[in-house]
Chain A
Amino acid sequence: MQFDQKRVLDGIDLDVVRGRILAIVGGSGSGKSTLLRLMAMLIQPTGGSIEVFGTDVARIDDAAALPLRKRIGVMFQNGGLFGDMNVLENVGVPLREHTRLDDETIDELAQLRIALVGLDPDAAAKFPSQLSGGMRKRASLARAMALDPEVLFLDEPTSGLDPISSDAIDELVLELKRSLGLTIVTVTHDMDSLWRIADRVALLANGRVAIEATMQDLAASTHPVAREFFGGARGRASLHAERR
């Protein structure tokens, strides 16, 4: 994958296992968000192949991508909520667009999703501009789940949140995996979050996957990139916290 002559991702080889949580980590500019956007079919790669549910989507057109997109949900970093609709209407958009359920049922289902992501029922009537960062992320998650996707992509689900909200989002992600059997791909910087939710962690460096392992193996790894990743103050703190 390249942007303006600069190769961002090169020689990525990564599989996402059904029903697991895969975390993609790496320094700023390591291409993790690009990788997520490629997998979620938001951008197309300049080369190589990406298979989503067994279909190569590298050169896919919109019509062919639609059935795949319905099976995918994306939670955006800043929510990506439509500013002229309230939360209930935002969550209802995929249902209105892609199903023939009646309006009342759609509202009930949207309300159900809103409860599922742990938002107050009152939040449903609010507009995105009236929500805090954490609530916006939750609302975005509720919308991503509207069509019961099989795979959820989370872009920095806990960035910019206070520790309590971050914990709550982590709990929510685990709960969704447990109760709905979702496959989840998350891009994150959050060490605590990695320890808690990730089944596998793919560490990106220089546009490729340096290591893909469980968090425990990654922490014990002698790979220079992994050492660098855990070498910072935050990485060390998270290791200490985990050992205790």
Chain B
Amino acid sequence: MDAADITLSGSTVRCTGTWTAQTLDGIDARMRSMAWPTGAVRFDLSGVAAVDTVGAWLLYRAARDLRDEGRDVSLDGADEASTRLLELVESKQIECPQPLHSQPPGMLEEIGRESVDQARIYASFFAFIGEVASTGVTSLRHPRRIRWQQIAHELQQAGVNALPIVGLLAFLLGVVIAYQGGTVLRSYGANIFIVDIVGLAMVRELAPLITAIIVAGRTGSAYTAQIGTMLVTEEVDALRSIGIAPQELLVLPKMIALTIALPLLTVYADVMGLVGGIVMSQSLLGIGATNFVDRLADAVSVRSFLSGIAKAPVFAVFIALVGCFQGFQTTGSAEGVGRQTTISVVQSIFLVIVIDAAFSIAFNHLGI
């Protein structure tokens, strides 16, 4: 295949070679910057071996632009196939109506867009809370409509199946805190206070927090993905058309189950964290399990324990709300599910930490 070439002699433009997408390197630029002869122009295409629509477009465009300048243009010597292509290109050419590339928005536009979007999302989040609440009240009035089987299923998924990971992480956290605290305490000879450090840190703060974060990442995302997928595959619409409120089937059982599961998981995390602390205290500081547990009764009051557990249901409600809400926000196709799941995880972990901070401040004021 000869590369395409274009040469000028007098008022004749001689085109030679193969005019196809692969062989047109540089011709495009050369045609644009060409010093076309004045007056009538004749394109001699007899030397062209082959043309595809790309080549035909370049030839046609050159001829069209010259004609637009009011000159006489003729395209001669094209073989039958090329003529047909030139005609095809001419019949299909249209002016590009508007700039078609997606312009990156300016900063002001982006700020505006983002503000409006956020406002809308918050508004629909509150609307969603309202819908869930009203569905909840209806369900409570008609307890037969509560889906116990769903709730049991969700309890299994969000609670029982989370035991291994929650247990392991709480245990490791206990080990880490005992190690960090222990090395300092040992140098002061205050070994026994390791119980206070591990006990209070785990029971009041870390166990509820780490459990909520794991559950947000594990269960909240699953909620979003499930509801989002059902939305994309029109299952949610199908529920509505059958006369089942999607909130009643998809949101309430999840919320009830998570509100039960998360406090229980937190207690479990408390225990596993303390076990981790005991293991580390034994090997690092020589405090036996019996001593540790004896001291624990003094170090950690029931009130401290309860203040940790009390946060869990609140975390649970928000994780379930955000997970389900983001699921219902899904638009478009499978891609939307992924995007929404990411948002859901980030938001629920963010919320969990913010709520935890709010609890700390409140407890501080209340002197708990």
Q: How far is the CB of A223 from chain B (nearest CB, A)?
A: 39
Among the stretches A40-48, A83-91, A197-205, the one at the interface with B is: A83-91
Shortest Cβ distance from A85 into B: residue: B102
User: Which residues of B sit under 8 angstroms from A148, Cβ to Cβ?
Assistant: 20-21, 52-54
Q: Which of B61-80 contact A (CB under 8 A)?
A: 61
Shortest Cβ distance from A179 into B: residue: B88
Chain A residues with a Cβ closer than 8 Å to the other chain, count? 31
CA distance A107 to B61 in the complex (A): 13
Instruction: Flag A172-205 by CB within 8 Å of B: 1 or 0 each.
Output: 0000000111000000000000000000000000
Given contacts A83-B335, A129-B332, A112 and B102 within 8 Å (CB-CB): no
Shortest Cβ distance from B61 into A: residue: A108
Q: Are A101 and B100 in contact (CB under 8 A)?
A: no
A111 at the interface (CB under 8 A from B): yes
Q: How far is the CB of B361 from chain A (nearest CB, A)?
A: 43
CA distance A179 to B86 in the complex (A): 10
Q: Are A121 and B96 in contact (CB under 8 A)?
A: yes
A60 at the interface (CB under 8 A from B): no
Shortest Cβ distance from A129 into B: residue: B332
Q: Which of A182-234 contact B (CB under 8 A)?
A: none
Q: Which of A108-141 contact B (CB under 8 A)?
A: 108-109, 111-113, 115-116, 121-122, 124-125, 129
Among the stretches B23-31, B157-165, B304-312, the one at the interface with A is: B23-31
Q: Are A100 and B335 in contact (CB under 8 A)?
A: no
A residues near B (Cβ < 8 Å) are 70, 83, 85-86, 88-89, 95, 98-102, 105, 107-109, 111-113, 115-116, 121-122, 124-125, 129, 147-148, 179-181
Q: List 10 A-B contacts (CB under 8 A).
A: A89-B101, A98-B21, A99-B22, A99-B54, A100-B26, A111-B100, A124-B96, A129-B332, A148-B20, A148-B21
Extra contacts, 8 of them, besides A99-B54, A121-B96, A148-B21 (Cβ < 8 A), are: A86-B101, A88-B100, A99-B22, A107-B96, A116-B92, A124-B100, A179-B84, A179-B88
Give the top 5 A-B pairs by smallest Cβ distance, nearest first. Answer: A148-B52, A115-B92, A88-B100, A125-B100, A129-B332
